[in-house]
Amino acid sequence: MGEGIKLPVINGLGRTNRIDNWWSQPLAMGVGLTAALIYTFWRLFLYGTESDNGTSLISYELEGSTVMSPIFSPNVLEWNLFGLNEWNHPEWVNAAILVLWIPFGFRGTCYYMRRVYYRTFFASPVACWVDEPDINKKIGYGGEKRLFIFNNLHRYFLYAAMIILVIKWWDVTHTMHFHSDAYDGYGVSLGTFVMGIEAFLLTMYVTSCHALRHLAGGMLDRWTTGISRVRGQLFGKISVLNRSHGFWFWTSLAFVFLGDLWVLAVAEGHLSDAVLFVI
């Protein structure tokens, strides 16, 4: 067995021979993730789900249709299932608090996300050919053990995320059914686009998942006949999507917050939605 080749990395945190802006990507990603965490905390625990006059701040009605904030969808507190709609819950409990562990777990254990947080928050490694903190060298890389063993749950979070995804598309249909004095039928509003784009981006993120690719066909030894051939073809298609998994990660994440801001702005009267057409 040959010995590992040591690259001539200059010693000292962040020191390198690289002449490009190697720090800009991890910096932007770190800022993005931190902003996402702060916004989510603010929205879940500080801002509230109803205004002082009782208006919902997690959804709005338009001619009988309902447009839901992506953060609070699915709104399980309205479900008959398990009697959740009759549950006399504490005021601070909202739908997102009950459900967000699924998208958090799914994104937190995502293979692409691991690369992002290892670089941005642990500086391990900072970037290719850039030196890392001394403490990282002392600790070394011990594999995904201890707390990181939770990363092995990714495939189970994938199953749960697929259920959420179906409900997201179901929520899109709720934006398309208008029944009021002025309208009676199916159509499209601006809110349909907001929720539809969010559901589409999430679909792309889920269908480009490494674990889904493994599930589809990666776990098989060969794709020769019958169902295995179909699974091999599926593996090939997911592999194409998988090349852009990082792109879908960021766009789907960003649209959760853009969609929430849209719902908040309409619910508070700063913007107004419009029915584009009804048939």
Angstrom distance (rounded) from CA 258 to CA 261 = 5
Q: Does 201 bind ligand FES (CB under 6 A)?
A: no
Q: Does 210 bind ligand FES (CB under 6 A)?
A: yes
- Give 42 or 111: the residue with its C-beta nearer to ligand FES: 111
The minimum distance between CB 203 and ligand FES, in angstroms, equals: 12
The three-point CA angle 117-257-109 to 5° equals 30
The token pair that represents 245 in the structure block: 């998994």
Q: Of the listed pieces 176-184, 205-213, 230-238, 258-266, which binds ligand FES according to CB under 6 A? A: 205-213
Which residue matches tokens 């690289």? Answer: 18
Q: Of the listed pieces 78-86, 120-128, 203-211, 220-228, which binds ligand FES according to CB under 6 A? A: 203-211
Find the Cα–Cα–Cα–Cα dihedral 198, 266, 34, 153, rounded to 10°.
Answer: -40
Beta pairing, strands 275-278 & 184-189? antiparallel
Please pick, from the candidates 26, 75, 245, 251, the single residue that binds ligand FES as defined by CB under 6 A.
Answer: 245
φ, ψ for residue 51, nearest 5 deg? -80, 175
- Give 119 or 210: the residue with its C-beta nearer to ligand FES: 210
Site track 94-133 with ligand FES (rule: CB under 6 A), x = hit: ----------------xxx---------------------
Binding site for ligand FES (CB under 6 A): 110-112, 154, 209-211, 245
